[in-house]
Structure formats: C-alpha cells, structure tokens
Amino acid sequence: MPKILNGTIEKVISGGDGIVRQQNNTILIPNTVAGDSITYAMTDKKRGVWRANLEHILTPSQDRVLAPCPIASDCGGCALQYMHRHTQAELKTTWVVDAFQHFITPATNITPITPHPEGFAGRRRVRWFVLDDKLGFRKRFSHDIVPTDACIALTANLNHLRHTLEAMPLPSHVQSVQAVELSNGTHIILESPQDKPTDFVPDSINDTQWWWRNTQSSFCKALHKPALTLWDSIAFNQQSHININIGPNDFVQGHAEGNQALISQIIAWSQGAKRVVDLFSGCGNLSLPLAKALGAKVLGAELNPASVKAANANAKRLKLNATYQMLDLFGHFPTESFIGADILILDPPRKGAKRICQNIRHFFPKQIIMVHCDIAAGARDAQALVKAGFRLKALRPLDLFPYTGHVEVLSLWEL
C-alpha cells in the first residue's frame, strides 16, 4: 500500500498538473486546483518528475468546481475541468505571460484569453480507442481505455458520429478511429496494424469520407472512391472566405473557431505586407488566407511532402501567388529565397524552431510572427530572437484546447 500524504496545491502548471512540495521534492498531481488541501499517494517518477494520485480533497479551493464530465478524473484529456472557465482563462494567460516575462517590455501589447461561454464545446478532431466495440479515451499515462457516452469538448456532430460507429460492425482488428470534422463533411480514419481489408464496406453516412491507415504507415487509403473533397472554410475579412482543401494526412487545428481567431490575428498583424515567408507551412492554413486578404506573395516550406502537395494544389485552385516546397527545416537548408520578407511566419511542431531562430539573421525579415503549441519551446525560440536584436511587439495566448492544460502562443517580433 502506498503511503498517504497530506499537502496543499501550490499552483497549477502548464499541462494542468498541480504542484505539492514535499521534502525538497516537487510532486505533480492531476485533477487539482491551486489552494486545494488534499491527501495523495505517490506513484512513480516519470520523465524525471515525481508524480502522485489524488486521494481525497480535505478542503477544496475556493476556485474548485464540480467537473462537468463524469469521467474527468479518469480520462487523460481535459486537465482543467475542476476550474471555472474564468479561472481557466486567467491561468492559461498567466502561463504564457510568465514564460515570456523576460521579453515583455512596456511597449508590448498583451491580449489575454477571453473565457469561453458556459458549456462551450467545439473540438473537431478526435481519436477514439476501441475496447469491446466501444469507443473511448486513454487514461493518463496509461494504455487503459475509458469508455464514455459523450465528450463535452467535442462538437455535437462528433459525439453523434461516435454512437453511429459503435452501432456498426467495424473490423475486429481496428485499434483506433480518428475523425476530423470540416466545413462540408468529416474524414473517418480507421487505424489497424493490418492492411486494408478487401471485404469491408463501410456503412454510408452523409458527408463522410472513410479511410484506412495501417499503423506502420503515415498515409491513408480510401475505403470508397471517388474520395470526397473536404474543406475548411476560413474568413479572410468580414465579408468573404476561402475554402482550403484538407485531406486525411493534412494537419488542421483541432478547434475551428480558435483557428479562425489565429488567422484573423495574423492578418491584422500583417497589414501592408507584400512578401510573406511561411515556414512549417502545412497545407497553407495560415498563409493562404494572408495571400488572399493582402494580395501578398507567399513562399512556404514544410517537411511533410503530402502537406506541400496539398498547399500548392490549394494555391493553384484559389489562384493565389503562393508557392510551397519541401525542406528539412530542422537541418541545414538554403535560405536565399527566404531573405527579406515583410513577414516571416514560424509555426513549428511542439519542439519549436531552434535552429531557424538561432540563425534568424540569415533571413533578414522585417517582422516575425511565431505560433507555438508548447510554451517552453516558444520561450526558447524567443530568447534566440532577442539575442538577434528583435523585440516582442505583441503577445497573445489563444485557448485552442478548451478544458485542457494546453495553450497556443502567438507572438509578433520586430527589430
């Protein structure tokens, strides 16, 4: 039996875990709120940090609320459900401001997160794991699956789709199902360690495209043809929008409204730009609306060949002056064509854009817009920009993952 200890949660850190100090050790405990007086049981040390399970709430924090989801304590997805939505917004803003505090000046414009409306949902991308013909989510730091009737973070369409999938016979070796809801339909991706079965014909569901992915591969195969073309509708001004085609192998932000807020802010910060460089460009999610809104010329680069192909196809279909190429942006690559941009956009994966930021003088941009899904990586990249002489002009945290311990960081830099 693990020893039961007492403590008080000092604060909740990025990721959503609460901190208790015990004998010079920092212990991370999920499902807690700053100010909670608790009992807890040590579990193990993961990634160099001690972790524990919450046993009992002795005295709840004044900021603690009843979690709206019945499996919040078991599911590893939404770490902040025990906080009021206003507390969540303030906390996520604080995480970002604290991480960037050394770069903030009196001239830096900071836009805090606005709390989402009560009962807000809208996550449009999900991966369910299969257990006994039921779909659910994995427990935190575990392969155990927690079945659920609904997820408060998902769109109503995805919650309905889940019930539809459970009611049909999927192949027995399907381990997980991904779904991506877009403006005109939904990609459904069945994931299995086996090749696509020849005898499986999925049930017809309106506005859906079925795919099969062998878990040893990163690419999908259509389960029915002709494959539907699905798109994300993005506004580039108050009256007009463009449709960006999104395939099953393309990355798309998990929250449609959050993605629109991200793009609208980038357009507002880029007014007057005529030449834009977009590194880690994906399928053109950020820079194609910019090309349309400003009439700017865009040159992008990306590591994923499928995304490069999709970005160029989108640019051609929309008749935009945008070209994308495949480059290893974490290694050495020729920078000549990227020199002297009015706006340089950096939207790297979780580990950040360390090499590019350390060599930013080779690019000579007038302004830089960085987008980070990891605060620590964002702060490391920011430090490199400051060393190169750039100043933080504006900082905006965005809550693209409601209820979770994640926050997106959008920052504007200038010489």
Question: Residue 77 domain-assigned?
Answer: no
Confidence of residue 118 (pLDDT cuts 50, 70, 90): confident
pLDDT at 390 over 90: yes
Domain span at residue 8?
Answer: 4-63
158 in the same domain as 129: yes
337 in the same domain as 238: yes
Q: What is the CATH number of the domain that holds 289?
A: 3.40.50.150
Check if the beta carbon of residue 77 is closer than 8 Å to that of residue 137.
yes
The total number of structural domains that make up the chain:
3
pLDDT of residue 218: 77
Question: Residue 68 domain-assigned?
Answer: no
pLDDT at 75 over 90: no
Count of C-beta atoms within a 10 Å radius of residue 216: 9
Catalytic residues: 373
User: What is the pTM for the complete model shown?
Assistant: 0.94
Check if the beta carbon of residue 78 is closer than 8 Å to that of residue 61.
no
pLDDT of residue 371: 98
Mean of all residue pLDDT scores within the chain: 93
358 in the same domain as 310: yes
pLDDT at 54 over 90: yes
Q: What is the CATH number of the domain that holds 34?
A: 2.40.50.140
Distance CA 88, CA 17 (A): 13
Question: Residue 70 domain-assigned?
Answer: no
Residues 272-293: tens digit of each pLDDT: 999 999 999 999 999 999 999 9
Q: Which residues contact 251 (CB under 8 A, 6 or more apart)?
A: 282, 283, 285, 304, 307
Q: How large is the average pLDDT for residues 396-402?
A: 93
Range ranked top by mean pLDDT from 131-135, 167-171, 211-215: 211-215
Give, as one character, the DSSP assignment of residue 70. Answer: T
291 in the same domain as 241: yes
Q: What is the CATH number of the domain that holds 145?
A: 2.40.50.1070
One-character DSSP codes across 21-50: EETTEEEEESS--TT-EEEEEEEEEETTEE
Q: How large is the average pLDDT for residues 126-137?
A: 91
Question: Residue 75 domain-assigned?
Answer: no
383 in the same domain as 251: yes
104 in the same domain as 246: yes
For tokens 């990609």, name the residue.
187
402 in the same domain as 258: yes
Q: Which residues contact 229 (CB under 8 A, 6 or more apart)?
A: 245
Question: Residue 74 domain-assigned?
Answer: no
pLDDT at 184 over 80: yes
283 in the same domain as 163: no
Question: Residue 78 domain-assigned?
Answer: no
pLDDT of residue 73: 86
Count of C-beta atoms within a 10 Å radius of residue 193: 10
pLDDT at 1 over 70: no
Question: Residue 76 domain-assigned?
Answer: no
235 in the same domain as 207: no
